[in-house]
Amino acid sequence: MEPKKNDLGAWGRKYGLLLAVLVLLAVWLLPTPEGMQPVQHQMLAIFCGMVVLWITQCVSFATSGIILIPVLYLWVGNATGAVDASGHLVRSADFALAGYGTSSLWLLVAGYMISTAMIATGLAKRLALLMLKRFGKTPFGATLSPMIAGLILAPLTPSNTARCAAILPIVEGVAQAYKLEKGKSNFGKVLYLANMYSHSTTAGAFLTGTIPNPVAIGMMLGAMGGVVSSQTSWGFWAIAAFPTSFVLLIATIYLLFWLFPSEIKELPGGLSYIDVELAALGPVSAREKRALGYFMLALLLWSTDMVHHLNSTMVALLVSALMLLPRFGVLSWKEAQQGIPWDLFVFFGGVITLSGITTTTGAFAWVINSVIGGLGLEGVSMLPLLIAFMGFQIFSHVIWSTTTAMAGVMIPIYIGIAQAFGFPIVGFVLPLAILGSYAWFLPFNTMTNIIMYGPGYFTVAEQLKSSILLGLIAWALWAVTALTWFPLIGLY
């Protein structure tokens, strides 16, 4: 009998650390192939060991980052394997900690402070309720309103889980107002599935939509020697990703209503509970007004960064500083720090360091070049390969339980492929990074899925069936985007 998934998970948590060490040693003890440098061999061994840690989750993400730092410092030492005059390895702390000084990592911190302010002031809830009050009298409008509210919140909330948690009470209110029966109502299936899928879709629409996005940009910049271009800006990401993401949102709701035709056509008498919720919030407070002003300032500066060339992280830190000012701000530092995921800061600092070293040493490029040569793929052009990997990126989410770990593993590999084929790094990797949040398939793939699955309005089979069709639609839409929109905006 095949072990159940939870049995495998328990086995991984119990033995994952030992397995990671064994995998690292096994890769390192293989004969170093001709043409491969020792430091490249070391980095491949470390990467394989870290992948085991991330997949088995035998230690926390933060712990894996802490483990990585001394391993890099003590064993690898530096990016070239240099030794001093006495033959001793030159060890550099800056080398082992390189990822922690990147602007992309600090965008995570500042983005979470802005997100905390949006939720703590009540502005996020008020926005969702007002949209629902305006459009929620039909099943289509009641489903679409929380989705659009999530889209509006996405640029300022770099966490699918936080957005979903903020929207869930609104979705539950709709279900109660329409008196939907769990597991039987088709409208209930559509309502919860659509709002589950939408958070993953909107996460890819903006650089600040989810944590792995700025980290992916940081990895690309590291592979390019830190050279910043307009293609790595907040505005360019939005130009590249938003149009297709919006079309996909609309396609999602039509797909779901086609799969599960609603038994309800409209709600007589409207959604009275919204008035109760809005009354509980009271009039718009001065704190909410200030928060709205700061959010608009952030969006204005981010969306025009290709004009004024201010770094998106510096914009986020500027807005965060304004929000923390006494009298003029909207948050205390005590409130702000509670919303910052310091564990992910430690983890992604290590991931960016590891990615930067593996790309600068050419470890991935060596392996990929060997595969390319062995398979005779030297003449493959970028677009067919990119479109093929788009499908792989979307559907491979089914095996991952976190987009965080997936980004840490896959983005460095995609960068290595771009380097090996001589493709523009941003041109090849950015489209795949946009799809890095599309974890639609099973409840365990992401916390957003678990949150929306919990109330019990749809089954796993219904999620899997609809997500496979949605994945095919997404693949087709992004393939068209790769052939038309990306060349038009100058991505490649």
Taking residues 83-89, report their average pLDDT: 86
Query: In this predicted structure, what is the pLDDT of residue 148?
Result: 85
Distance from C-alpha of 174 to C-alpha of 334, rounded to nearest angstrom:
34
DSSP character string of 312-377? HHHHHHHHHHHHHSTTT-S--HHHHHHTS-HHHHHHHHHHHHHHHHHHHTTHHHHHHHHHHHHHT-
DSSP secondary structure code for residue 343 in this structure: H
Residue listed under structure tokens 């293989």: 30
Pair of tokens at residue 357: 């070293």
Query: In this predicted structure, what is the pLDDT of residue 268?
Result: 57
CB 151 within 8 A of CB 209: no
* pLDDT surpassing 80 at residue 426: yes
Query: In this predicted structure, what is the pLDDT of residue 233?
Result: 87
pLDDT single digits (tens) 110-157: 877 877 887 788 887 787 777 777 776 788 888 888 888 888 888 877
Over pLDDT 90: what percentage of the chain? Answer: 30
303-317, 321-335, 376-390: which has the minimum mean pLDDT? Answer: 303-317
pLDDT single digits (tens) 217-233: 988 988 887 777 788 88
pLDDT single digits (tens) 324-351: 999 888 888 988 888 787 887 888 788 7
Residue listed under structure tokens 């749809």: 458
Query: In this predicted structure, what is the pLDDT of residue 373?
Result: 65
C-alpha 135, offset from chain centre:
29
Task: Compute the mean pLDDT over every residue in the chain, rounded to the nearest whole number.
Answer: 85
Query: In this predicted structure, what is the pLDDT of residue 374?
Result: 65
Query: In this predicted structure, what is the pLDDT of residue 3?
Result: 40
Pair of tokens at residue 57: 């989750």
Taking residues 77-97, report their average pLDDT: 88
Query: In this predicted structure, what is the pLDDT of residue 6?
Result: 53
pLDDT single digits (tens) 243-282: 999 999 999 999 999 999 988 877 655 567 677 777 888 8
- 110 vs 439, higher pLDDT: 439
Mark residue 89 as left, alpha or beta (left: phi above 0; alpha: psi -120 to 50; beta: remaining).
beta
Taking residues 29-49, report their average pLDDT: 88
Q: Give CA separation, 262 vs 74, 191, 265, 273, 480, in Å.
A: 61, 10, 7, 22, 31
* pLDDT surpassing 80 at residue 186: yes
User: pLDDT tier at 434 (50, 70, 90 boundaries)?
Assistant: very high
Taking residues 43-67, report their average pLDDT: 87
pTM of the full predicted structure?
0.77
Query: In this predicted structure, what is the pLDDT of residue 467?
Result: 94
> Largest Cα–Cα distance in the chain?
85
* pLDDT surpassing 50 at residue 1: no
Domain ranges for the chain, please list them: 1-96, 103-338
Q: Is 91 exposed, middle or buried (0-12, 13-18, 19+ CB in 10 A)?
A: middle
User: pLDDT tier at 4 (50, 70, 90 boundaries)?
Assistant: very low
* pLDDT surpassing 80 at residue 177: no
Taking residues 43-55, report their average pLDDT: 87
Q: Which of 289, 276, 376 lies closest to 328, judged by CA?
A: 289
User: pLDDT tier at 66 (50, 70, 90 boundaries)?
Assistant: very high
Over pLDDT 70: what percentage of the chain? Answer: 94
- 313 vs 375, higher pLDDT: 313
Q: Which residues pair with 83 in a beta bridge?
A: 89
Q: What does residue 83 show for φ and ψ, rounded to 5 degrees?
A: -125, 160
pLDDT single digits (tens) 456-485: 888 888 998 999 999 999 999 999 999 999
Distance from C-alpha of 133 to C-alpha of 1, rounded to nearest angstrom:
52
Distance from C-alpha of 3 to C-alpha of 220, rounded to nearest angstrom:
39
